[in-house]
């Protein structure tokens, strides 16, 4: 390793911690995407189907989430909601270790962020499915839920797949914000290494490389899924 520039002696020492951080990043990302998507689908759908009050509520939610910085949402949720629990005396109960940990707050904040952004994407996606295909589904006697599950949702997702991939990659790259609320995901570990070794660039480079290694397979996986249904290029 003599030929390689920089100081890298610390890697073996911090390797287990980096693995823990990596695992936490992946957990945070996957949970946020899964929870966020399951919120985004109804948020997008009600804006197309109504009822009106729900559509307005969903629209308002998307506007607020998309219009404010994620960092501020994260802090408001962690310090804001988090500070109520001791007031209610929950710090005396068995729940407290969970309520004190940053991770659930991070999952919550990232999930609603995904829900807000993807909810807006899904609104357009649902609207973009040709009406005739939905009529065809009705005309063979499908129930509204069957139409959604078999035709409307898959067609909508197909149309916005590249956009969704982009949203998920952006979410991955926003996860370092979680380190500001005591979640030691991979970036948080990187900061810790920097503080303890007084090295500036090397840990940053390694962390950047780790994110690249996460994003790469994620993109490839989504591209594979996208290409499962061939699209005609006209």
* 3/131 with CB nearer other proteins: 131
Polymer length of the chain: 234
Close Cβ partners of 1 (under 8 Å, ≥ 6 residues apart): 8
Task: List contacts with other proteins (CB under 8 A).
Answer: 130, 132-133, 135-143, 146, 150-151, 154-155, 158, 229-232
Contact 98, 25 (CB under 8 A): no
Burial class (CB in 10 A: 0-12, 13-18, 19+), 27: middle
Q: How far is the CB of 216 from other proteins (least distance, A)?
A: 27
Alpha carbon distances (Å) from 219 to 21, 214, 216: 21, 9, 5
* 103/152 with CB nearer other proteins: 152
Q: How far is the CB of 232 from other proteins (least distance, A)?
A: 4
* 20/226 with CB nearer other proteins: 226
* 53/230 with CB nearer other proteins: 230
Q: How far is the CB of 150 from other proteins (least distance, A)?
A: 6
Q: How far is the CB of 158 from other proteins (least distance, A)?
A: 5
Contact 122, 46 (CB under 8 A): no
Q: How far is the CB of 231 from other proteins (least distance, A)?
A: 7
* 48/147 with CB nearer other proteins: 147
The C-alpha atoms of residue 129 and residue 120 are separated, in whole angstroms, by 15
């Amino acid at each position: 390793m003599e030929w390689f520039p920089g100081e890298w002696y610390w890697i073996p020492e911090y390797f287990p911690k980096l693995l823990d951080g990596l695992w936490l990043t992946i957990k945070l990302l996957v949970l946020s995407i899964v929870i966020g998507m399951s919120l985004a689908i109804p948020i997008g759908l009600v804006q197309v189907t109504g009822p009106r009050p729900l559509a307005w509520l969903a629209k308002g939610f998307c506007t607020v989430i998309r219009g404010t910085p994620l960092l501020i949402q994260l802090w408001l949720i962690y310090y804001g909601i988090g500070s109520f629990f001791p007031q209610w005396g929950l710090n005396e109960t068995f729940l407290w270790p969970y309520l004190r940990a940053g991770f659930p707050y991070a999952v919550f904040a990232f999930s609603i962020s995904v829900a807000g952004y993807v909810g807006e994407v899904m609104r357009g996606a649902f609207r973009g499915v040709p009406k005739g295909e939905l009529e065809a589904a009705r005309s063979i006697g499908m129930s509204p839920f069957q139409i959604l599950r078999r035709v409307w949702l898959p067609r909508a997702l197909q149309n916005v797949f590249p956009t969704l991939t982009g949203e998920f990659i952006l979410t991955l790259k926003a996860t370092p914000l979680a380190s500001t609320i005591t979640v030691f995901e991979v970036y948080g570990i990187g900061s810790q290494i920097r503080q303890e070794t007084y090295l500036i660039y090397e840990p940053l480079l390694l962390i950047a490389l780790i994110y690249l290694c996460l994003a790469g397979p994620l993109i490839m996986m989504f591209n594979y899924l996208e290409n499962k249904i061939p699209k005609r290029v006209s």
